[in-house]
Amino acid sequence: MKTDMGLPHDNMVGDRANIPHHVAIIMDGNGRWAKKRGLPRTAGHKAGAETFRTIAGHCRDLGMDYFTVYAFSTENWKRPAEEVEAIMGLLEKYLIDSVNEMEEDRIRLKFFGDTSVLTPRLQELIRRTDEIAERLPGCFHANVYVNYVGRVEILRAARALAASGG
Ligand code: FPP
């Protein structure tokens, strides 16, 4: 059957069969993005957080299962205090929006990494998103890593792979 879109319809079906199960990214370039536009670095972080939300929605709509972002490593605590504060503020906003929207959006947001050093307010919000995520079995997963150590995560993945028979 010929669709309004013509031949690409068939190609799209083919492409969808090749959609990955999981895509993971390391957030980078927020500062450079802002600098190019004559904006403060914090504007780049705000745009980065919004972009993560947008991409997560697209991944869900494409039928993927997981989208993971490595957002803030242990190294990132060494940044100027006002930048770290702004990033923590963005995480708080992201969590508040998620508490309000993840059920409607059908997105299981989960935070990973050592979250025990975050403020009690952020930890409480993470507990709330965890509770909501429990009520969304089978839904698309959006994962955010904070206070993570890259090498530890590689080691963890290698061990898990070895344990599963490789
Ligand atoms: C990397 O860009 C960005 C970070 C280390 C921090 C990003 C964290 C957030 C925006 C918090 C909220 C995020 C989510 C997903 C809810 P960079 O500053 O290293 O950029 P540069 O390489 O251009 O300097």
The residue range of the domain holding 54 is 20-164
Residue 7 lies in a domain: no
Overall pTM > 0.85: yes
pLDDT, residue 109, reads 97
Residue 67 lies in a domain: yes
The tokens of 26 are what?
């390391």
8 Å CB contact between 30 and 47:
yes
Residue 85 lies in a domain: yes
Distance CA 69, CA 146 (A): 9
- Cβ < 6 Å from ligand 1: which residues? 27-32, 45, 48-49, 52, 69, 71-72, 76, 87, 90-91, 94, 144
Report how far ligand 1's centroid is from the alpha carbon of 48 (Å).
6
Nearest ligand 1 atom to alpha carbon 144: 15
Provide the domain count of the chain.
Answer: 1
Block means of pLDDT (10 residues each) for the chain, length 166 residues? 39 70 96 98 97 95 96 97 97 97 96 97 98 96 96 90 88
Residue 6 lies in a domain: no
Residue 2 lies in a domain: no
Residue 12 lies in a domain: no
